[in-house]
Structure 1
Amino acid sequence: MAKYKMKMKKKKNWSRVCERTTRTRCDLTGSDLHYLGVYVLRVRASADGVNSHWVNKDFCPDIDASLGPPSRVEMVPVGNLLDVIISDPLTSTQHSMRKHVLNLYYRILYWSRSDDPQGLKPKVLDSSNNLVTLPELEAWTWYCVMIQSRYDYYNKTSSYTEPRCMQTEGDTSYGQIFLYFLVSMMVCFLLVLLSCYTFIRFYRVLKNTFYPSIQLPAHIQEYLCDSSPGSDMPRLLTADSEAELCCDKLTICPEVVLLEIHVPPPLTAPPSELEQDSGRHIRQDSGDSGIYSTEGGSAQQGRSGGEPIKRDQEVDSWQTLEQVKMEEMGRDSADEKDLDEGVVDVCV
């Protein structure tokens, strides 16, 4: 019961927390007690229906309740120093104890693990801040930390947290800065080079796909472009229904060429010019032979009697020459036609 209600004259109503229990402890967390309030607790013993007298005790959470340690501790290296992040202890309702204990502060114990592995002679640092930087630390050294919550008004202290250790870092030298810069430049260069190589390869693939360097011959392209239904040129089939247009059988056969020989008609009489030439030739022969009027009529009779025979012989020889010329012309035309037999027709 609240202590201020004990002074009232009306009937007092007590709240029962632990009843008929064999334990020597009682948890008052569920009673919703105010942290700064003052309460009266009473307890008695019972056995076989016999009860003892009531024993009263004043209770104030602010005075009597214990203080919990920090709920969480984190360490972050900052160069050759360490930052310690401290979370406040929590109440039973998971709220910060700093709302009830305004003068709460922390005691920090830290030591070097290389110099004092067991932490027998730690350094002490008190702070009411939640972020504390540990001073006087060496670079590249492991340090361990333990923290305790404290409240001096009622001389309340909590237990220490578990030790947490962290290694400090050192100052970055100019050599390390140059090395980091060089490595970063090389990484950037490799990334740019890889990007350019990937772009060029992708560009070549696209170019070879849409604009190939090897083109079809012009006459094949003309055939492929001719898509008229009545055209007999070959073209690509674009539908399964046109598969019936494919040829089932292909046969190649030569074209038969018949040779024709033209025979000129026979000549009945030699041309007049030929007669004149032949007469002139006879006269020249007769002049050269020296047979003229000295011989008299015998020579003339001989010439007159032999002239029809010579003319018949000349006509026969001329006809023979013409026949030979015509045969040669026919043979030449036959050779030309034989050359034409090289043309082959393709029948489908």
Structure 2
Amino acid sequence: QLLLCLIETEAELTPPDDLFMLTLNTNYTLAWDWDQSAAGSDSATFTVQYAGLKKRNPKWTTVCAETSGRSCDLTRSGLNYLGLYVVRVQTNLNGRHSVWKSLQFSPDKDAVLGPPSEVRLGVSGRTLDIFITDPQNSSNSSMKEHLNKLSYDIVYWEQPEDGKSLMPETTSTVANVVTLSSIKPWTQYCMQIRSRDDFYNKTSTFTAPLCAQTEGVVPWWKIFMYFLLSLVSCFLMVLLFLYGGHHCFQICKATFLPNEKLPSYIKQVLPSFPTGDYPRLIVSDYESDLCDPVIVCSEHKTLGLHCRTIQSSFDLLNLFMF
């Protein structure tokens, strides 16, 4: 009777329910729900174990023992991607244990396949190169180590300037580098890529859209226009440089070497002086140094010419002095 009582008491503890696996490539997490009202104010814990499915005497391996959470990470537990397993979880409360609640799990069949880890676009003329990086497993290695027939679906479409997308086109490939050649030049294309495994017909979600614009052959008239614009620009720059240099030269010359011109009536008299004996200003404290003696001549015809010469010299001297 005591044994029957203990069995009934243990069975009264509510086991976990709604077991499900959260997976991505080789990342596995078991999650479950549990009614906390059955424990009252006490805190329940959970134990998670797994074992091979087809073994007669399975050896259960404990992954999470006495955990208070509602999930358990089995990623590092050593599950073979092609294996078949039974995963079970049990409730623990104040020394009591519920019955085990189990779930069958096959990573190859049940694990979600992830999209490509990276996608890059490269433009080469009017062709578009697509570089695809394989999905990564929990060891940061390619998922092709587990899926030999891993392929990719590429959906691409033309993106016009008015924003209205045209009918997309689809192509499939197993290569990591794909070149789209049957596309239009000078046109923007957008694309999304997803992973595919045909053995269990598994597909991943699509990557975020990536866009790139193709190139093409430049028309001859554009080349001529570019050359003409470059030639005109160079000519204007040289012309501006020459004009600026000439203007600066004129300013410097006027500042440091002023070009003062003598009056015309002085230039007419300069040839009559001997070489190097040009009139110049004389600075002296004595009045006798600045004046020549004046000779008064009679009005005789023979001395008229001599007197006029003296008078002209005296007038010229007064001109330079004043």
TM-score (norm 2): 0.50
Q: Comparing both structures, which one devotes a greater share of its residues to helix?
A: 1
User: Under a length normalisation based on structure 1, what TM-score does the superposition of the two structures give?
Assistant: 0.46
